[in-house]
A = this chain, B = another copy of it.
Amino acid sequence: MSKTPIIEVINFGDELLVGIRDNSHLVYLGDQLARYGLPIQRSRVITDEKTEIQRAFLDAWEHSDIVITTGGLGPTADDMTRENVAEALGAELLFDQSILDAIEARFKLLGRKVAKHHEKQCYYFSGGEVLHNERGTAPGLLLRRDGKILIMLPGPTQELRPMFEKQAIPILQEMGVLSKEQAYVQLRTCGVGESSVEESLQPIFSNHPGLTVAYCVHYGIVDVRLSSRDGSLSLGQIKEIAHEARELLGEDFVCYGHCSLADVVFHELRALDRTLAVAESCTGGLLCDAFTNIPGSSKVFVGGVVCYCNDVKVSKVGVPEPILEQHGAVSPECAIAMASGIAERLSADYGISVTGFAGPEGGDEKNPVGTIHIGYHSPVGVWAKTVRYTGGRMDVKTRAVHAALDWVRRKLRKYKIEEFLSCGAED
């Protein structure tokens, strides 16, 4: 096999093509393989039709070194992937009594009986290996042939994942196809556009021709993932480049790895042993949700009020009525009153607030749809900030939550000597 094998994934399943569900297998396999230094080169999704399966499989087998398939191994009549691939490859399928025995043993525990149609799951490629399925009936299949590797995995997520991690990855590591340690570093940034991040980091990255850089933008967050597709840079070298990049990013750098913005704020406040309360209007619970997604968040997050109407802003958050009369509910003044009010009412050290027009209706000349005011109350002062976004209601909500968290993160860092340095790069 060549030094950097080309890896291709084929997902079988109509439901992936008609808008019913995400191809989560591809995300999962991509993440797993990238972690060990072998990004997927290409992937395809096809329907469960014989000619389609055979054409796609043979094309993949011709142009790639490792082919991983998902789905189509079940007991029903539609599940013909095993048979179709065997025919395309000209490979013989052999019956394995021990697979049937395992299915029988599994079913006995569940009080079920093996049906005739389960027998088709007991065939494997002559000369190939069987990947045991600890969570279901369909075993996976592995075949080495023509200097290439074929791995066929069952469709259900809870069956595919342990099989891949416990059996396929170790085999691929053993063969030297995957590295034994993690192979990339991700820098998370927020508050600056993709092109600005790219522009500011380009001088560093252009010095390293073996570096592979991937950007991913999601609602104001820009992730920069560094790896070495051709294997010319070691993980140590990639980490050094990441640290250089991080210096250059300054306070736009959020963390290494995958921590959420709420995680970062949570850790900052946890380190200070301080508490936080939230008052939100247009983001309608999403900011509270971001904190409560963190296990143990109650150590920092006291609670929040979703004050969708003005009465609640006054009665539950403590916004003075004159503020609403003079400035309106969508104003920096109201944002500050909300942040201070909620901190006081819930006896928290810090308060964050969001008020604005998420759309599609509402808005006025001064504050068009997409205008968001963020309020921040802290022991050292109160501030408000205004941002403006285009897009649909849910986009605006998500971006507003990210903007609020990012701003608080920056404010909190200004008062700390040591920067936040956990999350990812070292694990």
The complex is assembled from copies of this chain, and their number is 2
Contact partner of A289 among B158, B198, B223, B285, CB < 8 A?
B285
> Is the beta-carbon distance between A285 and B295 smaller than 8 angstroms?
no
Contact check, A30 vs B16: say whether CB atoms are below 8 A apart. Answer: yes
Please give the distance in Å from A29's CB to the nearest CB on chain B.
7
A417 CB-CB contact with B under 8 Å: no
B21 touches A27 (CB 8 A): yes
Interface centre among A286, A292, A295, A361 (most CB of B within 10 A): A292
A40 within 8 A of B: yes
Residues of chain B contacted by A41 (CB below 8 angstroms)? 17, 46-47, 52
Nearest CB in chain B to that of A156: its residue: B217
How many chain A residues touch the partner (CB < 8 A)?
96
Residue of B nearest to A63 (CB): B55
Q: Which of A377-403 contact B (CB under 8 A)?
A: 390-395, 397
A195 interface residue, CB < 8 Å from B? yes
A298 to chain B, nearest CB (A): 5
Contact partners of A413 in chain B: CB under 8 A:
none
A158 to B219, CA, bound (A): 11
For A390, the chain B residues whose CB sits under 8 A away are 135, 158
Q: Are A303 and B307 in contact (CB under 8 A)?
A: yes
Q: Is the CB of A16 within 8 A of B26?
A: yes
- CB of A378 to closest CB in B, whole Å: 20
Q: Tell me whether B52 and A47 are in contact (CB under 8 A).
A: no
In this assembly, does A175 line the interface, its C-beta being within 8 Å of a C-beta of chain B?
no
Q: Does A34 contact B (CB under 8 A)?
A: yes
Closest B residue by C-beta to A35? B19
| Residues of A250-278 whose CB lies within 8 A of B | 278
- A interface residues with partner B (beta carbon < 8 Å): 14-24, 26-35, 39-47, 52, 55-56, 59, 63, 75-76, 135, 156, 158, 184, 195, 198, 212, 214-218, 223, 225, 227, 278, 282-293, 295-298, 301-309, 311-312, 315-316, 345-347, 358-361, 390-395, 397
